[in-house]
Structure 1
Amino acid sequence: MDEKAAAILDFELPDEAAAMRLGAALARLVAPGDLILLSGDLGAGKTTLARALVQSHLGEHGLADDVPSPTFTLVQTYESPALLITHVDLYRIEDVSELRELGLAEAVDEGVVLVEWPSRAENEMRRLSHDRLDISLTLVREGMRHARLEGFGSWAARLEGLTI
């Protein structure tokens, strides 16, 4: 079954500050049950965007935390009074059977899940939630990135009017 995005937005991110503004803007839109899939080459800014989203959400609740890349831990969690955010990096996943151990289905039920390198288990990722935001980051040239956001489920309406 082919799935079509209900909303597509494109942004030019001329610097890291623009990527951080996008993450902050998305932090205001996230809701329990959301799945955000972050794709792009190494160095495209996936962790920067995820970090900005998490830190902005925590900041809205008077909280602060370091947000390291979960490349080696695979999963990092952050909790605010409003939401549990699970940040996952699948770069080192070698077999989709390893996903069960990460508890991603439960994490989506409990809050928001941000996934870097979803292509490592693409079919499994897309089945985790109807409310999904796919973000593809492309390095255009040094420092300049292009972000394509494709919203599914309730993300279609939430993306309307999004600016950074």
Structure 2
Amino acid sequence: MKHEFISISREQTIALGKRLAALFNLGDVVLLTGDLGAGKTTITKGIASGLNITEKVNSPTFNILKIYLKGDKPLFHIDAYRLEDDKKDIGLDEYIGEAGITVIEWPAFIKHLLPEKALEINITHRDLTSRNITLKGEGHYADVVKVIAEEFK
């Protein structure tokens, strides 16, 4: 299932992340794509907030992986932008689909580690504050997309 909508503000993108968090199960994987500055980390902040994680969430570009354990469910936030060589996965497979929610920015760089099914979210700039957001998923993730489609039009 696929759903597209326009987020008119950073706050609406965070609200989307919060709502998604309520729909996630342990082991769920979210693949975030979009240009630099599109809002991938912003939606991750919303997911973290929805999981009641109070730690500051920022892009793990230089760390590659940030782990947030102080919430309702663990959150594993991966930024694969610097992992263009598939031999540099540094054990990330241990976190993908495990006992938490895994959010992966720039998933194309670690295709060999990705599960068959995941929630795919693509974010593109419309203007300074609004974004086109496309969600796509199968199985359980199609159910997630359906709920979001009803609430975010």
Report the equivalent of 1:74.
64
Report the equivalent of 1:4.
none
Q: What CA deviation, in whole Å up to 9, does each residue of 1:57-110 have, x standing for no partner?
A: 12xxxx5111121011110111246422100001111311111x1333444222
Alignment partners' CA distance in 2, 1:43 and 1:81: 26
Alignment partners' CA distance in 2, 1:105 and 1:11: 33
Report the equivalent of 2:98.
109
Report the equivalent of 1:53.
47
Report the equivalent of 1:65.
55
Question: What secondary structure is seen at the aligned counterpart in 2 of 1:110?
Answer: coil
Alignment of structure 1 residues 74-93 onto 2, 5 Å: 74-80=64-70, 82-93=72-83
Report the equivalent of 2:17.
23
Alignment partners' CA distance in 2, 1:26 and 1:125: 23
Segments of structure 2 that go 5 or more residues without pairing to the other structure are none
Deviation at 1:153, TM superposition (A): 2.5
Report the equivalent of 1:155.
141
Deviation at 1:24, TM superposition (A): 0.8
1:97 paired with 2:87, answer: yes
User: Counterpart of 1:98 in structure 2: which amino acid?
Assistant: K
Q: Give the conservation status (yes or no) of the 8 Å contact 1:55–1:67.
A: no
Alignment RMSD: 1.7
Q: Please give the TM-score of this superposition, normalised by the length of structure 2.
A: 0.89
Deviation at 1:111, TM superposition (A): 1.5
Question: What secondary structure is seen at the aligned counterpart in 2 of 1:37?
Answer: strand
Question: What secondary structure is seen at the aligned counterpart in 2 of 1:43?
Answer: coil
Segments of structure 1 that go 5 or more residues without pairing to the other structure are 1-6
Return structure 1 stretches of 4+ with deviation > 6 angstroms.
none
Report the equivalent of 1:124.
112
Alignment partners' CA distance in 1, 2:27 and 2:105: 17
Q: Please give the TM-score of this superposition, normalised by the length of structure 1.
A: 0.83
Q: What CA deviation, in whole Å up to 9, does each residue of 1:28-65 have, x standing for no partner?
A: 1111121100000011000011111112212xxxx511
Q: Give the conservation status (yes or no) of the 8 Å contact 1:38–1:115.
A: yes
